[in-house]
Structures are given as structure tokens and as C-alpha cells.
Amino acid sequence: MMKEEIRHADNEKIDLRVWKRLVAYGLKYKARVIRTILVLLLVSGADLAYPLLTRYAINHFIVGGTTEGLGLFGLINILVVIAQGIGVVLFVRGAGRLEMDMSYDIRQNAFSHLQQLSFSYYDTTSVGWLMARMGSDVSRLSEMIAWSIVDVMWALTFAVGVIVVLLVMNWKLGLLVLAITPVLAVLCLYFQRRILHQQRIVRKANSRITGAFNEGVMGAVTNKTLAREDAAQGEFEAITGEMKTAAIRAAVLSAIFMPLVVNLGAIATALALWRGGVEVFAGLMDLGTLAAFISYTTQLFDPIQSLARILAEMQAAQASAERVIDLLDTPSDVQDSPEVIARYGDLFHGKKENWPDIQGRVEFKDVTFRYKTGEEVLRDFNLTVEPGQNVALVGETGAGKTTIVNLVCRFYEPSEGEVCIDGTDYRQRSQLWLQSSLGYVLQSPHLFSGTVADNLRFAKPDATDEEIRRAAQMVHAEDFILNLPNGYDTQVGEGGGKLSTGQKQLLSLARVLLADPRIFVLDEATSSIDTETEALIQDAIQTVLAGRTSFVVAHRLSTIRSADRILVIHNGRIRESGTHEELMAQQGEYYSLYTHQYRREATQAALE
């Protein structure tokens, strides 16, 4: 427990390098920052004016015993109020604008960076993690930094202003009051750090509760079958108990903190009242000044609290700041060289006029691939695939099939050796050049929210309705599409959630037909669907494969059998290679894989 706390404290060290990067996003809008600070000073000026107005009122009207000029005084008072109100509106607008622009800019940068990162990054980074960085972390940091930039400037100016006024009004009394401020600053910093730390513990406990609820629901049946409802309840109550303790501790810290600050303020007020009263008696100070003095002492503590709070928040947000900067700074493992970009364009805009046509000949020359962790997946891998040839990759999970496919797509680059497209190492061309001639259908087909037509048009933005229909017809998707409530204009829902897996697969195949790529990669689904849809999909796959260089990570017999060439991959090497008939005759690994799969499919068919 102790160790963990110490480690936390280490994590909370403010790393200025990180903050400088983030603050730069705000300082880009220098003019706006300055304008907002000026407005805030106006607001503070109004805050400072009230005690002065009161002082004037007491000295001039009440002590002087006259109402002369009360109208004018009232008018000035009201003008100050209105000026302050307008100031607040402008200030919130300015700081809010700064916040929104910062988060906008960070998100834009991060998004466009994410479009360029290689798949080795996506392999090790979960989408949930990225979403958290792009969502709450960016919001929180922008809010904090935008308002803090303004707040810090304000706090400094305001504090200096109050101190000067106090010292000018009565320097001895002023120094007396100021003696409290260092104590206050230290206290604030200490408590706010503790509070934020405790709040983090609360958040962790809270996410454990969410996790426990999730397990309680997902594992409800398992708990029942094991008859451990009571045990589960006990474990859950232990977690909620921890949460309760932690949350109360956090609340108690805040409950001590606020009164303590107020009381320190009260000490200052008391000191001012006491010494000031003595001076009033001695005739060294007038009553109005005393009243103003007391008002200022209370206002002095706001900026000091602000500064302490910002420091504490920075400490608490250190980790998220680092994560966001890390995301922005991660270099992509697959990058086009400057020369390639100059000639063929970057990942967003291709210089298509310079792009050579792709025939579709793919060669692996002595390719070795290993992950950053050093784990070797492929070793001295050689393979030549002629244009239009269909290659089926079979083998056990982890044999290296997916890696081969990723190398073809240049989602990974070889650690050693080279992959050539039409005889040229693909690193001498741009990624966009290769990838726009590539079709890829994944195990779990991915659709975007939008209509059926939108999803098909994803492959070819300028496709006519006629082209879209033809593609859908060719993969036998039109029947089900026309049965949807709005046909091609039916919304498919998030991730295509309103469609069945089979329907999604058909659409993703139609999408490839529209894009008409030279090279096609298919990662076949292992899970089976009903026989009827299955037959449609088989047929659609054959349609898409025709005439394209293709790589299929295959599981279905019909796909495997119809391939021009079957490669049995074992531990990153080609163990068997040939046509279905040749390999069956060998009675090797392919033979046993095939018979096993045959049994599965036939049993499945018989049981339906």
C-alpha cells in the first residue's frame, strides 16, 4: 500500500516539457489570450471597486451626513455592475473559445496522426484506450489549460493589485495581513494535492464497481450454476465498502480544507479589525478605509487559492498529459520517405498522375519479420505470386498467415528482405499507391454507420447508383437489400449492427467489387452462418477472386479447393505448397487439416 502511494507521488511530478507542448496549443491564439486576460482584469477591477465605493459611501455620505451626490454615486455603482456583467460574459466567451479551439486542434492533429500510424501500433493499442485519450483526456486538458492560462495571469495581476492597494492604504496593517498569505498558499497546495490524490483513488474504486456490475450481469448464469450468488454478493459489498470509505475520506478532506481556508481568512480579518480599530481610535485611519481594508483582505485569498488549485490540478493531470503527448508523438513504423512523398504524394493526397499501373505480381524476397518485442514470425520467406493468381493460406493459428497478409498490404514492413510489387520494392512507392489498389475483407466485416449505399460508395465515392446496384447484384446482396425497409437507403446502424453477419459479409464483398482492386486479401470468417447465406457468400467470394491476385486466409473447403495454389504455413515457413489434388496426394499436414474441416462442415450440414 505504502509503496503504491510513493509510486503515485512520483508520477505526479510535473514534467514541464509535456505542459509546454500542450500550452503551446493555447498560446497559438495569443491575441485572444491577451484580450481575455484584459477582460478578466476589468472584472477584477469591478471586484476591487466595490469596497472603494463602500468606503466612499461611508466616509462621504454616512459620516458626512449628506445625501448630496447620492444619485451620481448610485449611477456609478450601477455602471460598475453592468460593466462587470458584460465583462463576465466576454470572459467566459473568450476562455471558452480558447478551450474549444485547443481541443479542436489537438483532436485534429491526433486524428490525422492516427490515420498515418502503422498497424503495429494498432495491434498493441486498444481502441478503447485511444478513445479515452481522444475524448475525455483531450477535453479535460484543454479545459484545464485554457482556463488556467487566463486564471494564472489574472491571479498574479489581481494579487499584486490587492497587495499594492493594501500597502498604499496602510502599509503596517498591510504587512500584517500579508503575513498570513504564505501559510495559506502552503496549506492550499498541500490539501488540494491530497484531495486530488484521494479523488483518484475514488475514481479507481468506482471503475472497479463498474467492472463488478459488468461481471455480475455477464456472469450471472455462471454464478447461478456455481450457486455462488452469496459469495459474489459478499465480494461486491467489499468493493462498495472500499468505495464508501475512500469517498468519505475524500469528502472529509474537502470538508476540512474549505473551513480552514475561510478561518485563516478570518484571522486576517480579525487582525485587520483589531489593529485597524486601534488606529481609527487614534485618528490615524478613517472608518471607510478600515471597511475597505477588511474587504480587500478577504479578496486577497481568491487568487492564492486559484494558483494552488492550478498547480495541484497539473499534478493530477500529469499522467493524461503525458499520454496525449505520447499519442501525438508516436512515430509510424511504416513511413514513406520524403522522396517518395514528393513523387507520389502523402497518405492523404496521392499524386495519381505519377502512379504506375499495378499488374499484381507480388514477390516476397528473403523476408524476415519480427515484432518489436523481438518475437520472430517469418524467417527467410520467399514467395512469388503471378498477376491474377489465387493463393490460399492455411495453417494453425499463430503460424504466420495474418503476418504474410499484413506484409502484402504494407500494414507491416519486412524487418529484413523485401516485398516487391511488379518487381519493385514497395517501399519505393507510396503507401497510398499500393493501398488504393488493394481490397481487404476482414473476418469480422466492418461497416460504417450510414446507409447501405453509403457503405458501398465508401469504396468508390463517385460510383453511380447503377454501378452500386450492379456490384450488389453480382454478390447476390440485392435480394436482402431490397427487403430492407428503405432498400439501399436503409441505415445500417453503428458498425452495421442492424444487419446480420452474413449480410455484412456480402456488403463488404460488394464493396471490393466496386473498388475493383488488382490485389485482393480475404481473411475468411471461421464462424459459420446458415447454409443458405453460406452458399451465397461462397459464390460471391468466387466472383470477387476472379481475375485478381489474391491472398486468402482460408477456412472454408470450397475457397481452399478452388485456389490456384495452396500454402500450408507452419511456424513462419511454407511447409506444403501446391494445388488441392497435389497436396491431398501427399497426405501430409494439408490432408489432415482438410479432413478435419470436412468433418466439421459435413456434420454441420447434416444437423441442419
Decide: 187 and 264 in contact? Cβ < 8 Å. Answer: yes
- Comparing CB distances to other proteins, the nearer of 84 and 533 is 84
* Closest distance of CB 225 from other proteins, Å: 5
- Comparing CB distances to other proteins, the nearer of 226 and 546 is 226
- Comparing CB distances to other proteins, the nearer of 9 and 258 is 258
* Closest distance of CB 300 from other proteins, Å: 16
- Using only C-alpha atoms, the chain has a radius of gyration, in whole angstroms, of 35
Counting Cβ atoms within 10 Å, is residue 466 exposed (0-12), middle (13-18) or buried (19+)?
exposed
- Comparing CB distances to other proteins, the nearer of 103 and 181 is 103
- Comparing CB distances to other proteins, the nearer of 9 and 220 is 220
- Comparing CB distances to other proteins, the nearer of 104 and 160 is 104
* Closest distance of CB 18 from other proteins, Å: 23
Residues in contact with 349: Cβ distance below 8 Å, sequence separation at least 6, in sequence order: none
- Comparing CB distances to other proteins, the nearer of 169 and 442 is 442
Distance CA 350, CA 329 (A): 24
Torsion angles phi and psi, residue 366, rounded to 5? 45, 45
* Closest distance of CB 198 from other proteins, Å: 12
| Type and span of the H or E element at 570 | strand 565-570
User: What's the DSSP call for residue 350?
Assistant: B
* Closest distance of CB 559 from other proteins, Å: 13
591: cell is 490432408
* Closest distance of CB 20 from other proteins, Å: 24
445: cell is 466485416
**Relative orientation angle of helices 180-218 and 229-281, to the nearest 10 degrees:** 160
* Closest distance of CB 460 from other proteins, Å: 8
Distance CA 481, CA 478 (A): 5
- Comparing CB distances to other proteins, the nearer of 67 and 483 is 67
Backbone CA torsion sign across 355, 356, 361, 366: negative
- Comparing CB distances to other proteins, the nearer of 365 and 570 is 570
* Closest distance of CB 455 from other proteins, Å: 10
Distance CA 537, CA 284 (A): 97
Residues in contact with 227: Cβ distance below 8 Å, sequence separation at least 6, in sequence order: none
The gap from C-alpha 50 to its chain's centroid, in whole angstroms, comes to: 45
* Closest distance of CB 15 from other proteins, Å: 26
- Comparing CB distances to other proteins, the nearer of 90 and 178 is 90
Instruction: State the residue for C-alpha cell 498490404.
Output: 409
**DSSP string for 359-428:** ---EEEEEEEEE-TT--EEEEEEEEEE-TT-EEEEE--TTSSHHHHHHHHTTSS--SEEEEEETTEEGGG
* Closest distance of CB 13 from other proteins, Å: 26
What Å distances lie between residue 556 and 398, 442, 532, 560, CA to CA? 18, 14, 15, 6
What Å distances lie between residue 273 and 48, 259, 282, 289, 292, CA to CA? 19, 20, 14, 11, 11
